[in-house]
Structure 1
């Protein structure tokens, strides 16, 4: 074989290796990017390697019939899970608030990743073509965040559970029901020590809960309002007809509703325990 311009080289003894290299370049078997190796220092790309995967072929086979390389670590690592069943905390509360914004969750926020939350996440995932796992992975979380706004405090604590405000100085001595309108919480305190804390709801605009210092003057376990004919279990009266009591409506609707001036509690177990401890004459402080 004679290649114009290279006949002298090809005809010399001992130059077979050099001639093969020259032929390779001339025949185009190697794809060389302009200017040699690319900007990151990678070697030229060889397009005629015998073990390269056939484009459009079946995954796991190669043109030479040898097994394809194992998937990379990026392909095999499962998606990062942000929240899952049983998780609790403010992060879960934000997830639930955002799910409420897009009408996939109607309960809460409670701060606990329960079955209702998992079902809401499944629905959200399925609607957007994501795997319906019920777990909030990074992809699901990013998609939800893009579709919603950052929830405010009202949205985060629609069903209660917010941190209690610092106790009023008038709550620091004796036995006191210390009730903050700012944080919407009730602290049961004895000699400055908080025994228990619970979420509460107050009166509506035209029937506000009175503020000040009062005392429990009557307890009624199965009380029914004679004015509104509504049930007021575990009622502890402190000012006229206003009392601290359990509210079925608060338990069901959260802060979407309001009372006629009473201090509503949504946790029945908590107020049942409180009712057993509070005595007539104990102080009640309602403050902002």
Structure 2
């Protein structure tokens, strides 16, 4: 629209002006009100900006952020305090080989075993948890050999095998060289069962069927000058008796032919119950 010298209004682009006015009217109706400014002019209360172009980098979702690393898995624990069984025996036997454990094996993951594992871990730069995880076990396997049966049962605790047929009747001290155990049996029933130790290859324990011919509560060997408490003689100078050496060293030692018992309470019970003339069977 243009105002000329004569005061008359001249219009150009009539269609466009009409469209703008119509849009403004429509917006006024939709908003329902206008804002009265301090200069007396009326203004629309709504300011609309139509965005153009791509969104700013600040508002754009990140697409180049590296994925977070997965949490490290906790070490797999194979055995720990309170566990029992044959595997714990092997762990203890291997710890004995590298001089981290001196007792046992007992088959019980006790405080001594936990302390030994922790010491072994610390020496090798592993986390000192006292629990045997896969990394600890793998390192121990590389440093040790496979333990034999009597490494696993150094201090006894091995299961007894089936009694010999000659042990199933009467009163019998039934002694197995295979399982290194003694059963005190009465009419086929096992009353007491204990681990035992035999003579070395140079002084072997005799095998066969014998009888108890003499009992000596506080016997001392005249040949070896050694104590033989609760001795029950069955073949010459060979007897079943308590051995403090067996109790201390286990199968790391041997007798001079006698049948050694490491459990003093059990041998005391048998000594009180066994009579002269009772049968003794030493078998494989």
Shorter-normalised TM-score: what interval?
Answer: 0.7 to 0.9
Q: Report the Cα offset of residue 247 of structure 1.
A: 0.7
Match of 2:179 in 1: 183
Choose which of 78, 90, 93 in structure 2 pairs with 1:82. 78
How far does residue 250 in structure 1 lie from its aligned partner after superposition?
Answer: 1.0
Runs of 4+ in 1 over 3 A off after TM superposition: 77-81
- Structure 1 position 242, deviation (Å): 0.7
In structure 2, the gaps of 5 or more residues are 1-49
The number of aligned residues is 233
Q: Tell me the alpha carbon deviations over residues 49-79 of structure 1, each in whole angstroms, 9 at most, x when there is no partner.
A: 5xx79xxxxxxxxxxxxxxx9x96x54x754
1:250-269 deviations in whole A, cap 9, x for unaligned? 11111121111100011222
Q: Note the residue ranges of structure 1 that are not aligned, 5 or more in a row.
A: 1-13, 31-44, 54-68
1:249 to 222, 242, 245: 245
Distance 1:150 1:20, change over 3 A: farther
- With the length of structure 2 as denominator, give the TM-score of the two structures: 0.73
What secondary structure does 2:277 align onto?
Answer: coil
For 1:203 and 1:116, the matched residues in 2 are separated by 31
Which secondary structure state, in structure 2, belongs to the residue aligned with residue 46 of structure 1? coil
* 2:106 paired with 1:110: yes
Match of 1:230 in 2: 226
- 1:49-198 map, 5 Å: 49=65, 75=72, 79-198=75-194
Structure 2 residue corresponding to 1:46, chosen from 58, 63, 67: 63
- Which has the higher mean CA deviation after the structures are superposed, 194-203 or 272-281? 272-281
SS at match of 2:193: strand
Report deviation, 1:274: 2.0
Q: CA deviation at 1:235?
A: 0.9
Q: Which has the larger radius of gyration?
A: 2
Q: Distance in 1 between matches of 2:216 and 2:139?
A: 50
1:20 corresponds, among 27, 42, 54, to: 54
Three-state SS of the structure 2 residue aligned to 1:126 is helix
Q: How does the TM-score come out when normalised to structure 1?
A: 0.72
State the secondary structure of the residue aligned to 2:54: helix
Question: Does residue 209 of structure 1 match 2:243?
Answer: no
* Cα distance change of structure 1 residues 287 and 220 upon mapping to structure 2, 3 Å threshold: same
Distance in 2 between the 1:252 and 1:225 partners? 19
Separation (CA, whole Å) in 2 of partners of 1:78 and 1:275: 54
Q: Output the aligned Cα RMSD.
A: 2.8
Structure 1: how far apart are the matches of 2:185 and 2:83? 30
Q: String of CA shifts for 1:8-44, please: whole Å, max 9, x gaps.
A: xxxxxx996xx639x99xxxx99xxxxxxxxxxxxxx
Query: Cα offset for 1:213?
Result: 0.7
**CA–CA distance in 2 between the matches of 1:135 and 1:218?**
51
**Cα deviation per residue 1:112-139 (whole Å; 9 max; x = unaligned)?**
2233222211110111122323232343
Residues 160-206 of structure 1: per-residue CA shift (max 9 Å, x gap) = 22221221110111111110111111111111122222111111222
SS of the residue 1:97 aligns to: helix
